[in-house]
Amino acid sequence: MLKTLRAAALAIAVCSSPSWVLGADFDGSKPLLCATVDAHFCDIGEVCFRTLPAILGAPQFVRIDFAKKTVTSSQRSTPIRYMEPSDGQLIMQGTELGYGWSIALDTKTGTMSTTLVNREDVFVLFGACTPS
């Protein structure tokens, strides 16, 4: 059900925007508002657990400000320490609260995949962004 809703929301967003606008929206030139919609939590030696981001304590929304090189939620702001465009995506990385994080942003659609990892566990979040 959640996967169907996510796909429908993305299809509406893509179809309602001219294609020439989409390319420039997610290339790192405009600030973005991103929503997390799906989450997985993995402990070493265990099967990963799928849940909603809020259950894991992940923010519902984050803002990516490329000019300030920050990712900000209602709780905190963290610097983007590394950013690299490559083959239809923009990779961002940083550290926060003892975790290393990576965000892979699709530069055509605005969908994102995010990981947070430390020596004991891994969080994987999926979501979508829109220009803010």
* pLDDT band, residue 24 (cuts 50/70/90): low
Give the separation between CA 71 and CA 129, rounded to whole angstroms.
Answer: 12
Domains of the chain: 2-131 (2.40.160)
Instruction: Check if the beta carbon of residue 43 is closer than 8 Å to that of residue 120.
Output: yes
What is the C-alpha to C-alpha distance for residues 77 and 7, in angstroms, rounded to an integer?
29
State the pLDDT confidence band at 25, using cuts at 50, 70 and 90. confident
Query: Tokens 């799928």 label which residue?
Result: 50
Average pLDDT for 73-96? 95
The runs of H, that is alpha helices, within the chain are: 2-16, 19-25
In this predicted model, what pLDDT tens digit does every residue of 115-129 receive, in sequence order?
Answer: 999 999 999 999 999
What is residue 19's predicted lDDT score, i.e. its pLDDT? 38
